[in-house]
Amino acid sequence: MVKDEITTTKYLIHSQINAKGFVEKPDVVGAIFGQTEGLLSDSLDLRELQKTGRIGRIKVDMTNKAGRTKGEVIIPSSLDRVETTILAASLETINRVGPCEASLRITKIEDVRAVKRRTIVERAKELYQDMMEDFTPESSRMIEEVKESIRIPEIIEFGEDKLPAGPNTPDSDAILIVEGRSDVLNLLKYGIKNTIAVEGVNIPKTVADLTKDKTVTAFLDGDRGGDLILKELLQVGNIDYVTRAPRGQEVEYLDKDQVIYALKNKTSVDKLKNQVNYNHNHYRYNNKHSYNNDEKDTKVYDMKQPVSEYKTDEHPFKQKSPKTYKNEPEHHHIQQTTNHHKNTSEIQIHEKQKDNKKDTNNKKQHKKHENKQENTKNKPKKLNKYQKILNQLAHTNMGKLYDENFNELKEVPVEQIYDEIKITDDVKTVIFDGIISQRLVDISKEKNIEQLAAVKMSEVVKKPETIKIITKRQQQ
């Protein structure tokens, strides 16, 4: 059968024929038409179907060997699925081909359209791959060239070092210092034209001189490179404010909202230095205080004075036998003994007073400790409410959002809590079974959230004064 005739049909009926004797192709085709004639209704008669083109030309491949004939018969069909299966089943009624006994068995009915669909998909993949390789890079390059042609004329080369900068940098009273040329281009895209790039970790003299006469904000990447540039700027330049891209991100990839948010939340250098000095002094004070406590304890221990430090082996307050002299009156000896007893009594009274004073101090400390424990027990009910909800949420990986009157707005999974806060209005309190991150603090500040309660808090650098952060560890 011609290939074109097969591909115009819906189904192909595949069958296997076996004959006990030597038969030829016309014998097989004649048996198919002759033994199915009148078996089915006129609408399924093979001769009529072939005349109307709903059955294609029958293809027969025969092999004769040792007096037997085997072959495959393929019948193209454009009938629907039910009619095709009925016609195929009728073929299995054939029991003779020519003068020989024979049997015909349907092996499969192939859906030609499914094969076509698979072929279409595979070819479409090839065409798409070719299109991506041939056209996409070219199209992307065209788009970038157009964008670059708009931005590049705005970039200038500033100073002796010919640093990339925005066109307003020489005349502006305030400038932004960024890391590289791509950062300048990205900020130009959002209309920020008073930028200059340092082009590396080593700060050029041009930038150092520029910081003396202008209000300077360092807008740096959130990686180690940004940390190094900030340290260098603090040493060689006179910068006023610092802001950073989110940790792990770069300025050149920030969108407009992220850029505006970063510039809006910049930190003054004086405040940054005070925080560093406070942390350093606080550390030194704690260490010194701890050392002094140890020193004080050592002195208390030394005041016990081992017996070996005294001049004699006797106890210092042990009563000694009075000395007598030949010419000494007897009453003098009695007076000396009396004075000795008096001194001993005074010492004992002094020791008793010291013990009483010590007991009084111990009682005061004990009472102070009891008051502290009592204060700990009488914590505000508000904390107990957070504690109760945190205990309910423990090991559930869930969180709850509350409004100003502490009415529950919704309960959400922890992994979706950032997105839910972003799209939910009137949220004032967030309690969840997780960790408070800088990203969550930032969105909470943006949404005017007042309380954040969770199991613990990660390294949060910027803690807004408007947000009360409560962790489970603090409440225990």
User: Which CATH number goes with the domain that contains 109?
Assistant: 3.30.70.260
Closest CA to 421 of 398, 407, 404, 400: 400
Has residue 68 been placed in a domain? yes
For 452, other C-beta atoms within 10 Å of its C-beta total: 21
Identify whether residues 163 and 261 lie together within a single domain. Answer: yes
Instruction: Give the predicted TM-score (pTM) of the model.
Output: 0.33
Has residue 374 been placed in a domain? no
Which run of H or of E encompasses 352? helix 330-377
Of the three residues 344, 368, 392, the one that is the final residue of a domain is 368
Task: Give the whole-angstrom CA distance, residue 143 versus residue 151.
Answer: 13
Identify whether residues 255 and 335 lie together within a single domain. Answer: no
Has residue 133 been placed in a domain? no
Identify whether residues 164 and 107 lie together within a single domain. Answer: no
- CATH of residue 255's domain is 3.40.1360.10
Report whether pLDDT(369) > 50. yes
Report whether pLDDT(180) > 50. yes
**pLDDT score recorded for residue 314:** 40
Name, in order, each residue with C-beta under 8 angstroms of 30's C-beta and a sequence gap of 6 or more: 98
Report whether pLDDT(141) > 80. no
Q: Which two tokens stand for residue 285?
A: 């004070």
Task: Give the whole-angstrom CA distance, residue 137 versus residue 168.
Answer: 34
Has residue 270 been placed in a domain? no
CB 219 within 8 A of CB 261: no
**pLDDT score recorded for residue 270:** 82
**pLDDT score recorded for residue 310:** 34
Please indicate whether residue 17 or residue 307 has the higher confidence score (pLDDT).
Answer: 17
Report whether pLDDT(295) > 50. no
Identify whether residues 316 and 414 lie together within a single domain. Answer: no
Q: Predicted confidence band at 303 (pLDDT cuts at 50, 70, 90)?
A: very low
Say how many domains are in the chain.
4
Has residue 284 been placed in a domain? no
The H-assigned helical ranges of 41-168 are 46-51, 81-91, 112-134, 136-151
Identify whether residues 363 and 396 lie together within a single domain. Answer: no
The H-assigned helical ranges of 152-193 are 181-189
**pLDDT score recorded for residue 197:** 93
**Least confident residue range of 65-69, 270-274, 380-384, 398-402:** 380-384
CA 229 from chain centre, in angstroms, equals 26
For 39, other C-beta atoms within 10 Å of its C-beta total: 13
- CATH of residue 469's domain is 3.40.140.20
Has residue 189 been placed in a domain? yes
**pLDDT score recorded for residue 154:** 78
Q: Which domain covers residue 346, as residue numbers?
A: 307-368
Of the three residues 204, 235, 265, the one that is the final residue of a domain is 265
Of the three residues 202, 234, 265, the one that is the final residue of a domain is 265
Task: Give the whole-angstrom CA distance, residue 387 versus residue 394.
Answer: 10
**pLDDT score recorded for residue 353:** 59
Identify whether residues 211 and 248 lie together within a single domain. Answer: yes
Identify whether residues 157 and 237 lie together within a single domain. Answer: yes
For 220, other C-beta atoms within 10 Å of its C-beta total: 25
Has residue 302 been placed in a domain? no
Has residue 425 been placed in a domain? yes
